[in-house]
């Protein structure tokens, strides 16, 4: 359905959660994210056909960031619309271009020095979300303008935090934006609205800057990939304030936990301590590895905590 002039939003299930797909349609057809492997065939192409637009004529695919559920359908798009450019921020382009690389460098990053690897069935599930490797054709920096029609400029925003190269697409004429996973509230909801996964931001400093940047846009319509459509400045400001509050609370929880005990702790132990305070997130609590490693890295870089390897596992403790 069209949720703002030229901005279309489609809903599909993603396990017990929801994934929203977005398109800007004017003289040109711009697809934002390609979902998982089968999303183009099952969701995107039928929708374009229902509007009388030939999916073979997709002009541009903007991949918001390197995550399996956001670019997994690139192969299907390439097959159907070989002339469509696939674009992404240069900082995420490597991961988006090759599933094997993102499997190792993003999804397996906690294995070597944190002793936390996804179980094999989860790895297989993640790998199967993505099709064959498709190179990113066009690397973005943020700040680019795309004309979807002569009077319809779209601006590319660099919104790092969840990944280093996360981008959002902003329509300044209508005050609407598709920001996918750039702000993740206090967690990701299932279809009933229960929080079932922590907010998986990684780079804490840039995440805070991104939240401020989005607040300053004073949006009327905000489209994210895993949350219901948001309308109106007040609701959007509340969501962003809650997003910022979680990150503040997470940092405080990690820091005060280490300060109180004064002993060396691994990421796994820190997650176990923090989960009841920040969640609890049940089966998904290990996903706290992403944000908490971000906070631990920042705190260590600031000299507020110390970092060392014990038996090949990274540990942190309060810096006296
Ligand atoms: Zn994501």
**Ligand 1 centroid – CA 81 distance (Å):** 24
* Cα 163 to ligand 1 centroid, rounded to whole Å: 8
Domain boundary assignment for the chain: 2-241, 249-318
Q: For residue 257, report the distance from its CA to the centre of ligand 1, in Å.
A: 28
- Cα(77) to centroid of ligand 1, in Å? 20
How far is Cα 75 from Cα 130, in angstroms, rounded to an integer? 8
- Tell me how far apart the alpha carbons of residues 185 and 216 are, in angstroms, rounded to a whole number: 17
Mean pLDDT of all residues in 247-262: 98
Query: pLDDT tens for residues 61-99?
Result: 999 999 999 999 999 999 999 999 999 999 999 999 999
Going through the chain in order, the beta strands assigned E by DSSP cover: 2-4, 7-14, 17-25, 29-32, 60-63, 85-89, 138-140, 145-149, 152-158, 167-171, 176-180, 188-189, 195-197, 221-224, 230-231, 265-266, 305-310, 313-318
What is the Å distance from ligand 1's center to 287 Cα?
A: 12
Q: What is the pLDDT of residue 41?
A: 98
Tell me, in angstroms, the distance from the centre of ligand 1 to residue 71's CA: 10
> How far does residue 235's CA lie from ligand 1's centre (Å)?
22
- 116-163 pLDDT tens trace: 999 999 999 999 999 999 999 999 999 999 999 999 999 999 999 999
This prediction has a pTM of 0.97
Percentage with pLDDT > 70 across the chain:
100
d(CA 299, CA 94): 28
**What SS3 class is residue 121?**
helix
Are 206 and 161 in contact, with CB atoms under 8 Å apart?
yes
Q: Is the pLDDT of residue 320 over 90?
A: no
Res 166: pLDDT: 98
Question: What's the confidence (pLDDT) of residue 132?
Answer: 97
pLDDT digits (tens, 9 = 90+) for 171-209: 999 999 999 999 999 999 999 999 999 999 999 999 999
When the pLDDT of each residue in the chain is averaged and rounded to a whole number, the result is 97
What Rg value do the Cα atoms of the chain yield, rounded?
20
Report whether CATH 1.10.10.10 matches the domain 249-318. Answer: yes
Residue 239 clears pLDDT 90, i.e. is over it: yes
What is the 70 CA–ligand 1 centroid distance (Å)?
A: 7
Dist. CA 33 → ligand 1 center (Å): 11
Q: What's the pLDDT at 147?
A: 97
Per DSSP bridges, beta strands 17-25 and 7-14 are antiparallel
User: What pLDDT was estimated at residue 163?
Assistant: 98
Q: Give the Cα separation of 1 and 9 in Å (integer).
A: 6
Distance 307 CA to ligand 1 centre (A): 28
**Which listed CATH number (3.60.15.10, 3.30.450.20, 3.40.50.300, 3.50.50.60) goes with 2-241?**
3.60.15.10
């Amino acid at each position: 359905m069209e949720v703002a002039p030229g901005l279309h939003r489609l809903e599909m299930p993603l396990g017990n959660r929801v994934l929203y797909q977005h398109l800007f349609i004017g003289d040109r057809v711009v697809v934002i994210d390609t979902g998982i492997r089968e999303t183009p065939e099952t969701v995107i192409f039928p929708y374009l056909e229902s509007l009388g637009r030939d999916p073979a004529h997709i002009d541009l695919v903007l991949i918001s960031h390197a995550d399996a559920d956001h670019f997994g359908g690139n192969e299907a798009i390439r097959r159907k619309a070989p002339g469509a450019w696939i674009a992404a921020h240069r900082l995420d382009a490597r991961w988006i271009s090759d599933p094997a690389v993102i499997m190792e460098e993003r999804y397996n990053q906690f294995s070597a020095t944190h002793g936390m690897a996804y179980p094999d069935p989860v790895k297989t599930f993640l790998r199967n979300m993505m099709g064959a490797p498709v190179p990113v054709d066009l690397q973005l920096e943020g700040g680019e303008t795309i004309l979807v029609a002569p009077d319809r400029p779209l601006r590319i925003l660099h919104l790092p935090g969840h990944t280093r190269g996360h981008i959002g697409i902003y329509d300044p004429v209508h005050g609407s934006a598709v920001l996918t996973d750039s702000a993740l509230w206090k967690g990701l909801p299932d279809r009933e609205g229960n929080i079932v996964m922590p907010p998986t931001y990684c780079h804490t400093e840039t995440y805070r800057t991104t939240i401020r940047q989005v607040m300053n846009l004073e949006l009327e319509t905000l489209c994210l990939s895993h949350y219901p459509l948001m309308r109106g400045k007040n609701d959007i400001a509340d969501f962003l304030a809650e997003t910022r509050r979680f990150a503040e609370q997470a940092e405080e929880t990690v820091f005060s936990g280490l300060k109180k005990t004064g002993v060396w702790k691994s990421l796994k132990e820190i997650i176990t301590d923090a989960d009841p305070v920040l969640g609890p997130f049940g089966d998904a609590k290990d996903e706290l590895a992403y944000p908490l490693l971000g906070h631990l890295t920042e705190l260590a870089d600031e000299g507020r905590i110390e970092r060392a390897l014990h038996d090949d596992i990274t540990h942190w403790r309060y810096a006296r």
